[in-house]
Amino acid sequence: MIIDPDQPSPHYPVRPEWLALHDEPAIDPEQEIVDPHHHLWDRKADGRYFLHDLLADLASGHRIVDTVFMECGAMYRASGPEEERSLGETEFANGVAAMSASGAYGDTRICRGIVGSADLRLGAGVERVLEKHLAAAGDRFKGVRQVSAWHDNPAARGSLANPPVGLLEQSGFRDGVRCLASMRLTFDAYMYHTQLPEAVALARAVPEATIVLNHVGGAIGIGPYAGKRDEVFQAWRRDMRTLASCSNVVVKLGGMGMRVFGFGHGDEPRPPSSAELARAWKPYVDSLIELFGPSRCMFESNFPVDKGSCSYGALWNAFKRIAAGASADERDQLFQATARRIYRLG
């Protein structure tokens, strides 16, 4: 991930005193959950979120059995070849996974899966770097995310990443995705809804790759898109329908607590209840479950980023409210089985 360390965060700040203004018990606390998307970091823009911070959130009453660490520019090596510095992040996450595997921090297997960072523009040359990630984390290393979220209007942006324009269309990048596929590793993608046709083109160009689309496809609700939710939703749904025709794409249901979505929960005097979150998020989640099916959808926390808008407990309660009408098997896929299969968690 390419990050300017001096760039102000586009995310809502985490405010413990604000979050403490609302509490609610876990709905259906026996439902097993794999959280397939969280970060751990210590960075200037967004503060610190380490193992003990995550453990405090996991104490919300939900049954989180496994988690997947998602790259976020954390703990890169300070020296060495540029293309290998992201190995520091994988080593860091693997250390946390080893701590968790000791059993000393509860039953949840934290960082059981690790999605790291590598520059896929290296093409076939990225194989050497990926081998080093695998050597660092063994079978915990599941894939790579390279953020492509870019918009020509700075007011529409909601990511600290600074990717080049048209990243997914570069031939070298696509060769890198092919390399991932040949090594049975996944590719996690984060982009804005305006870039979804690029995801379609990538999925069709590399059909052997498993592509995991993050954060419901990044439907922007700020800047030039503020006050245009219906218009954006229709454009987003149209392109998501096309993307759903690519059987190698699965989608993460979450990330909607980010400021870029424009729901504004982090601007309110009190944190939202799960019922409020469910009302706001349900149209997107329902659409994706309809288009992709439960076997290609997985709920995600995106913590601590979404923690600026809601608590961990309220977030999972919101997802449980949205999925209440699904069958037991469908709920199981949405909350754990799809993530377990895609990230090969066993």
Contact call for residues 108 and 58 (beta carbons, < 8 A): yes
Is residue 38 within 8 A of residue 69, CB to CB? The reply is yes
Torsion from C-alpha of 211, 112, 45, 298, nearest 10 degrees: 40
User: Does a structural domain hold residue 144?
Assistant: yes
Domains: count for the chain: 1
Assess if residue 9 is contained within a domain: no
Task: Provide the pLDDT for residue 93.
Answer: 98
Ranges of the chain with pLDDT below 70: 1-6
Q: Would you tell me the crossing angle of helices 196-205 and 229-244 to the nearest 10 degrees?
A: 0
- What pLDDT does 280 receive? 98
Taking a C-beta distance cutoff of 8 angstroms, is the pair 144, 188 a contact? yes
3-class secondary structure, 325? coil
**Helix/strand/coil for 299:** strand
Range of the domain at 269: 29-342
Q: Does 5 map to a domain?
A: no
Predicted confidence at residue 5, as pLDDT, reads 57
Instruction: Tell me whether residue 2 is in a domain.
Output: no
Instruction: Say how far apart CA 35 and CA 343 lie, in whole Å.
Output: 11
Determine, yes or no, domain membership for 188: yes
CA 121 distance to own-chain centroid = 21
Model pLDDT, residue 140:
98
Mean pLDDT of the chain: 96
Record the tokens describing residue 11, joined without a space.
């995310």
The pTM assigned to this predicted structure is: 0.97
CATH code at 171?
3.20.20.140
pLDDT at 4: 59
pLDDT tens for 151-188 read 999 999 999 888 999 999 999 999 999 999 999 999 99
